[in-house]
């Protein structure tokens, strides 16, 4: 028998109370784990998504730039369009390395699956440096480059003549299949820009222009020049770094609120643990007296009750981490359905350091919550404790 097992054995005394106390700690730690994992996942997901886009600036039609950015990143039908003539002005602006035009539209089929068509030219390859194409980029009319998820879902293979989903009477040949990117590109169907404009009856119009800079540090200067060009009044220039910062700050505001809730949950759990152990001290007053009579010092009694609190918090924290991990997919699905702008990557992205932080919080919580009951137990005089009847202090 040692100090730890002595404290652990007391759990058996009130299993229901122990269970409720553990549950309180587990909920608080699960909330903390989910919050930290969400923060990590959302930040990483946003960054990866922007990196995959390969652009520093997005030029979109007038309107809400964040909606436009969301459509460009995830794919949808655009409500308005840019004149293709703007492309030349954007491309010739000082500091612009590549301006890749795009025409995007999307349809939903009967199963609810979305089919996104994107018309691009070869300049997109300067941005999408992470693309690995099996086959080749569309060169002739009606050639298609399809994302890996589309190829898998539609069971398309290289060189196959296919009918375009949701575009009756139109077909094309799969000239290339993209290796998985883990992003939205996996579910896009790329085709030549002219083909897309013609097919969807928007000749000489674009939905957006992806701009890559020669020097990313020269972003502010280039944005100012784009605003100042003759097409500047007819289009929105969205620096993606700004977009990232804005979205991140919106998420941070929410996170602060959620952080406060997690903190309150931790404090309530700590108070619950403290109260439960205080009740144990009251119930065990006579036993404390007996232990003092058997030679236990003040510090021995303190140690027994403090260790017990620590054990409850540590085990509760461990359960919280495991439960939060097990429930992370459900939570992610729930969040994804409610967040206005969610990256394609995993939203709940856990790492070992998050589990470490949660367990450290459990230890701190247990250490703090155990101080009062342990101190009250330790300061009991042996005579008073021996005299105490069960349930009195």
Partner 1 sequence: MPSPPKPSQTSPSLPVVEAVELTKIYHRGREEVRALNAATFRIERGEFVAVVGPSGAGKSTLLNLLGCMDAPTSGTLRITGQEVQGLSDQQRTRLRREQIGFVFQHFGLMPTLTVAENIALPTLFARRRLAQRVDELLEQVALSHRRNHRPHELSGGEMQRVAIARALVNNPQMLLADEPTGNLDTATGDTIISLFQQLHQAGLTVVVVTHNTPLASATQRQLTLRDGRVD
- Residues lying near partner 1 in the complex (CB under 8 A) are found at 1-3, 6, 9-10, 12-13, 286-287, 290-298, 300, 381-383, 386
Q: Closer to partner 1 by CB, 163 or 392: give it.
A: 392
Neighbours of 215 (CB within 10 A): 11
Please give the Cα distance from 178 to 151 (Å, whole number).
Answer: 9
Q: Which is nearer to partner 1, 167 or 290 (CB)?
A: 290
User: Are the C-beta atoms of residues 324 and 34 closer than 8 Å to each other?
Assistant: yes
Q: Considering the complex, state which of residue 189 and residue 380 has its C-beta at the smaller distance from partner 1.
A: 380
Please check whether residue 103 is in contact with residue 190, taking contact to mean a CB–CB distance below 8 angstroms.
no
Q: Which is nearer to partner 1, 336 or 390 (CB)?
A: 390
Would the CA dihedral through 202, 204, 205, 206 be positive or negative?
positive
End-to-end CA distance of the chain: 28
Among candidates 186, 150, 217, which has minimal Cα distance to 52? 186
Judged by beta carbon, residue 284 or residue 349, the one nearer partner 1 is: 284
- Whole-number minimum distance, CB 384 to partner 1, in Å? 10
Residue 77, CA distances (Å) to 124, 161, 205, 297 in order: 20, 25, 14, 75
* Residue with Cβ nearer partner 1 (153 or 298): 298
Strand 171-178 relative to strand 143-146, pairing = parallel
**Residue 209, strand partner residues:** 59, 101
391: left (phi over 0), alpha (psi -120 to 50) or beta: left
Q: 156 and 150 in contact (C-beta within 8 Å)?
A: yes
- CB of residue 20 to partner 1, shortest distance in Å: 19
- Residue number with CB closer to partner 1 (355 or 385): 385
Nearer of residues 295 and 337 to partner 1, judged by Cβ: 295
CB 51 within 8 A of CB 289: no
Query: What DSSP string describes 300-338?
Result: HHHHHHHHHHHHHHHHHHHHHHHHHHHTHHHHHHHHHTT
According to DSSP H, which parts of the chain are helical?
Answer: 3-9, 15-53, 65-74, 85-91, 148-154, 193-199, 219-228, 240-283, 285-293, 298-326, 328-336, 352-378, 382-387
- Smallest separation (angstroms) from partner 1 to the CB of 3: 7
Q: Decide whether 83 or 298 has the Cβ nearer to partner 1.
A: 298
């Amino acid at each position: 028998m040692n100090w730890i097992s002595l404290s652990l054995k007391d759990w058996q005394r009130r299993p229901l109370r122990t269970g409720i106390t553990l549950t309180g700690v587990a909920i608080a730690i699960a909330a903390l784990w989910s919050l930290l994992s969400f923060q990590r996942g959302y930040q990483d997901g946003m960054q990866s998504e922007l990196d995959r886009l390969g652009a520093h600036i997005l030029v979109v039609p007038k309107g809400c730039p964040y909606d436009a950015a969301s459509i460009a990143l995830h794919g949808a039908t655009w409500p308005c369009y840019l004149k293709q003539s703007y492309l030349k002005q954007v491309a010739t602006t000082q500091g612009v390395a590549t301006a890749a035009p795009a025409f995007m539209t999307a349809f939903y089929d009967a199963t609810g699956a979305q089919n996104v068509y994107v018309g691009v030219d070869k300049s997109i390859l300067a941005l999408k440096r992470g693309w690995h194409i099996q086959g080749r980029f569309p060169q002739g009319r009606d050639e298609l480059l399809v994302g890996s998820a589309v190829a898998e879902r539609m069971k398309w293979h290289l060189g196959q003549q296919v009918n375009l989903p949701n575009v009756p009477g139109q077909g094309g040949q799969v000239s290339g299949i993209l290796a998985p990117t883990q992003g939205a590109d996996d579910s896009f169907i790329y085709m030549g820009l002219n083909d897309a404009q013609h097919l969807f009856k928007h000749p000489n119009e674009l939905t957006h222009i992806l701009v890559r800079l020669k020097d990313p540090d020269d972003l502010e200067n280039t944005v100012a020049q784009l605003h100042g060009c003759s097409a500047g009044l007819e289009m929105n220039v969205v620096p993606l770094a700004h977009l990232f910062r804005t979205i991140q700050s919106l998420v941070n505001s929410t996170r602060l609120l959620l952080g406060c809730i997690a903190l309150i949950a931790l404090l309530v759990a700590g108070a619950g643990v403290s109260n439960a152990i205080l009740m144990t001290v009251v119930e065990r007053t006579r036993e404390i007296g007996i232990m003092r009579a058997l030679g236990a010092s003040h510090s021995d009694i303190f140690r027994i009750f403090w260790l017990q609190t620590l054990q409850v918090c540590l085990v509760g924290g461990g359960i919280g981490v495991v439960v939060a991990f097990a429930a992370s997919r459900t939570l992610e699905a729930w969040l994804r359905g409610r967040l206005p702008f969610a990256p394609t990557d995993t939203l709940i992205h856990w790492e070992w350091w998050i589990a470490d932080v949660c367990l450290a919080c459990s230890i701190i919580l247990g250490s703090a919550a155990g101080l009062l009951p342990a101190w009250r137990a330790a300061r009991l005089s042996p005579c008073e404790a021996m005299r105490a009847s069960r349930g009195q202090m």
